[in-house]
Amino acid sequence: MVEVEIKELLEAGVHFGHQRKNWNPKMKTYIYCDKNGTCIINLDKTSELLKKACDFIKEQVKQKKNIIFVGTKRNISELIKREAIRCGAYYINRRWLGGLLTNFDTIRHRLNRLRELEDMQSSGTLNRLNKKEQSTLNKELDKLQKTLGGIKNMRGKPEVIYVIDQQNEEIAVKEANAMNIKVIAIIDTNCNPDGIDYPIPGNDDSIRSVQLITSKLSDAIIEGHEGQVPDVHNINKPTINRDFTTSVKNLDEPVNLVQEIVVPLEQEVN
């Protein structure tokens, strides 16, 4: 079972929200207080809801459901890719293509094209073409790998998507809602929790915060696989056996501990 400690959430800065002037009133239930004009997230609720999301995603994995990690902000794109690969999930970390969920038949054709071009590259077929043809196809391959490389072996629509920053990934959330696909999301104090099935209130701008929350979900997925993580990004390789423990220590971003977090009740967010 994945454990979520308040202390580690605090150390990762999960509690730091946006300035009060930028908050979404629908997030009131998840906010502990207003400190010097900054919304402070209630970590008791974060811990509770993160555990709930971990339990849900673990059960989905046991039922062989497809899961996509979605995080296209530049500062977290490699983090999302790394964690998705670690737990055997699919991922979108560059740009969300409109219709990826609502028009998957069209996306499937592009995935087939991506695999075709990769086969041509690995077999040496591309190298036997003239320079102009090579350049054209290499550009097409590079573009497809950047946008769809994280889901190239996915054969059908996912049953769950995990989103970092609801505001930034609004189109993905809307498409998932339209297709009755469950949504897990980190929701900061400026986000709209509507349409999120498993909200995780937390700082979606800090790398440490996103790393911690994502690693917990990844650990839950690995538990669901009982430690036998399928390498969905290269189906020709054998199953990878991984330990589901991870660490968010030794990251470059400094630890920020909240100071004097307790304020009088009359100063709480209204």
CB 11 within 8 A of CB 211: no
Quick one: pLDDT at residue 250? 42
CATH class of residue range 6-101+157-251: alpha beta
pLDDT tens track, the chain, 270 positions: 788 889 999 999 998 887 777 888 998 999 888 777 888 999 999 999 999 999 999 999 999 999 999 999 999 999 999 999 999 999 999 999 999 999 999 999 999 999 999 999 999 998 899 999 999 999 999 999 999 999 999 988 999 999 999 999 999 999 999 999 999 999 998 999 999 999 999 999 999 999 999 999 999 999 999 878 888 887 544 444 444 444 444 444 444 444 434 333 334 444
- Domains of the chain, by residue range, sit at 6-101+157-251, 103-155
CB 26 within 8 A of CB 194: yes
Helices (H), the chain: 6-11, 43-62, 77-87, 104-123, 131-148, 170-178, 207-224
* CB neighbours of residue 252 within 10 Å: 6
For residue 184, the one-letter residue type is I
CATH 1.10.287.610 assigned to domain 103-155? The reply is yes
Report the alpha-carbon distance of residue 111 to residue 39 in Å, rounded.
Answer: 42
Do domains 6-101+157-251 and 103-155 share one topology? The answer is no
Quick one: pLDDT at residue 37? 83
Quick one: pLDDT at residue 260? 39
